[in-house]
Amino acid sequence: MEFQLTDAQRALQEAARKFAREVVRPKAAHYDETATFPLDLLTTAWELGLLNMAIPAEYGGVGLSHLDQTIVAEELSWGCAGVATSIIANDLANLPIILHATDEQKKRLLTPFTEKLKFSSFCLTEPEAGSDVANMQTTARLEGDHYVLNGAKCFITNGGQASQYTVFATVDKGKKHKGITCFVVEGRPEGLSVSKHENKMGQRASETVSLTFEDVRVPVANRIGEEGQGFAIAMATLDNSRPLTAMFSVGIARAALEHSMEYSTQRRTFGKPIIEHQAIQFMIADMAMNTHAARMLTYESAWLLDEGKRNSLQSSFAKCFAADMAMKVATDAVQVYGGYGYIKEYPVEKLMRDAKLIQVYEGTSQVQRLVIARELFK
């Protein structure tokens, strides 16, 4: 059992940390305030190899291990969770291809991402099918050598920027989850429309839109797996992406902890810095303890994937614990700052808003608990 990062991992961590510190942090407040897409930051991330981290080397990617990806994810979200979500969106959308596509599909659909900057979106959630994926209403009808897609997707990250979409649709509503099938929609075909960017509470540097598919034609050659395998593909994808989402929470919490430590040494009450008050010491001790615990849970869930083992239980442990932890740590950071913590001029109110989303997206904290219970009783 080894708890120390390798030299290569420390170098990767430092590169990601430098990018987050020198490139992301100085512009994070601007993109949060304006809610505009941080194209310049993502361009730099692509140039540094921090975009498309999961694409295997044989298809032109850097092929980072799952553990390596979590190390990078912590640093990115420490810089800005919204920017981190925008960066990681490509990996989420490409994971179904990486995990389940044929070699021909991988070469055709993954390699272009390594040759130039382009974006892809993962399209699973619908207005009536978030946690209840089996209630999916988007349909796919086979017509000759094409499928025809009709339906709507919501809360789609980078949907307005993407030129490739990994879309889940059902070939038979009556079959519930057994009818769900995975497709890759290339470009902006006729019938695909994009709504305006949602005005979100937090993670405002990540673009979130709704998509409408009206008789969108997709070649049979772009179906990933067989008909009816989409639900299993989606669940395997989320098992693989959950450690990254969990580590976003760790990055947010670490930022909140560091800001709280710095502020508590400068702010004075009753004739001394507030860090000398035991009440503040206990809050900061809890922040540090729980941030570290979440990091270790997340490392384990990523390590299991690298070992070729199933991680459904451990990744739900990590995502649920880390998301709830980050919300608590960020809220406590606002408390440490007192009235100033509630003002946008200070950094911690953004962290609190950013943390909230992680309790909701890619499986709510309540759904994670359902997964945990199901896994325990198997």
Q: What are phi and psi of 30, to 5 degrees?
A: -65, -50
pLDDT at 78: 98
User: What is the model's pLDDT at position 139?
Assistant: 97
What integer pLDDT is reported at residue 129 of this predicted model? 86
Which residues of the chain, if any, have pLDDT below 50? none
Cα 219 from Cα 221, distance rounded (Å): 5
Residue with tokens 């199933």: 310
Hey, what domains does the chain have and what are their CATH numbers? Answer: 7-115 (1.10.540.10), 120-227 (2.40.110.10), 231-377 (1.20.140.10)
DSSP structure string for 293-338: HHHHHHHHHHHHHHTT---HHHHHHHHHHHHHHHHHHHHHHHHHHG
CA separation for the pair 245, 146 (Å, rounded): 34
pLDDT number for residue 2: 85
pLDDT at residue 333, rounded to an integer: 98
User: In b/e form, how buried is each residue of 200-230, taking b as 16+ CB within 10 angstroms?
Assistant: bebbbbbbbbbbbbeebebeeebbbbebbbb
pTM for this one?
0.95
Evaluate whether 311 touches 304 at the Cβ level (below 8 Å): yes
Residue 148, helix vs strand vs coil: strand
Is the separation of the CB atoms in 347 and 354 below 8 Å?
no
Residue 52 zone, left/alpha/beta (φ > 0; ψ -120 to 50; rest)? left
Task: Name, in order, each residue with C-beta under 8 angstroms of 299's C-beta and a sequence gap of 6 or more.
Answer: 67, 70
∠ CA 189-193-194 to the nearest 5 degrees? 125
Question: Which residue in 22, 300, 362, 375 is the catalytic one?
Answer: 362
Q: How many residues does the chain have?
A: 378
What is the maximal distance between C-alpha atoms in the chain? Answer: 79
Q: Give pLDDT tens digits for 176-193.
A: 999 999 999 999 999 999
Q: Verify whether residue 186 is a known catalytic residue.
A: no
Residue 131 pLDDT = 84
pLDDT in tens, 269-319: 999 999 999 999 999 999 999 999 999 999 999 999 999 999 999 999 999
Residue 79 tokens read as 């810089």
Q: Distance of CA 373 to CAs 1, 68, 377, Å?
A: 27, 29, 6
The C-alpha angle with vertex 140 and arms to 138 and 145, in degrees rounded to 5, equals: 160
